Amino acid sequence: IYILGIESSCDDTSASVICNGKVLSNVIANQEVHSKYGGVVPELASRAHQQNIVPVVQQALVQAKVDKKQLSAIAFTKGPGLMGSLLVGTSFAKSLAMGLQIPLIDVNHMQAHILAHFIEDDTKAPPFPFICLTISGGHTQIVKVTNHFKMEVLGETIDDAVGEAFDKSAKILGLPYPGGPLIDKYAKLGNPKAYPFTKPKVGDLQFSFSGLKTGVLYFIQKQLKLNPNFIKENLNDICASIQYTIVEILMDKLKNAVKQTNIKHIAIAGGVSANSEIRNHLQLAEKHFGWSTYIPKFEYTTDNAAMIAITGYLKYLNKTYADNSVTAKARLKVTE
Can you give the binding site for Fe ion, defined by CB under 5 A? 136, 303
**Residue among 42, 57, 54 nearest 11 (CA):** 42
What is the DSSP track for 210-271?
HHHHHHHHHHHHHHHHH-TTHHHHHHHHHHHHHHHHHHHHHHHHHHHHHHHH---EEEEESG
Rounded to the nearest 5 degrees, what angle is found at the Cα of 296, between the Cα atoms of 295 and 301?
125
End-to-end Cα, the chain, rounded Å: 26
Q: Is residue 136 at the binding interface for ligand ATP, with CB under 6 A as the rule?
A: yes
At its nearest, how many Å lie between ligand ATP and the CB of residue 115? 13
155 binds, among Fe ion, ligand ATP, none (CB under 5 to 8 A by kind): none
Instruction: Please tell me the distance from the alpha carbon of residue 83 to that of residue 10, in angstroms, as a whole number.
Output: 9
Residues numbered 180-239 forming contacts with ligand ATP, rule: CB under 6 A: 180-181, 184
Report the SS3 class of residue 192. Answer: coil
Residues numbered 101-120 forming contacts with ligand ATP, rule: CB under 6 A: 109, 113
Residues of the binding site: 109, 113, 134-138, 167, 180, 184, 275, 303
Report the SS3 class of residue 151. Answer: strand
237 binds, among Fe ion, ligand ATP, none (CB under 5 to 8 A by kind): none
At its nearest, how many Å lie between ligand ATP and the CB of residue 180? 2
At its nearest, how many Å lie between ligand ATP and the CB of residue 205? 18
Q: Which is nearer to Fe ion, 112 or 257 (CB)?
A: 112
Enumerate the β-bridge partners of residue 73. Answer: 3
272, 285, 306, 332: residue in contact with ligand ATP (rule CB under 6 A): 272
Q: Is residue 138 at the binding interface for ligand ATP, with CB under 6 A as the rule?
A: yes
Per CB under 6 A, residues contacting ligand ATP are 9-10, 80-81, 109, 113, 136-139, 163, 166-167, 178, 180-181, 184, 270-272, 274-275, 302-303
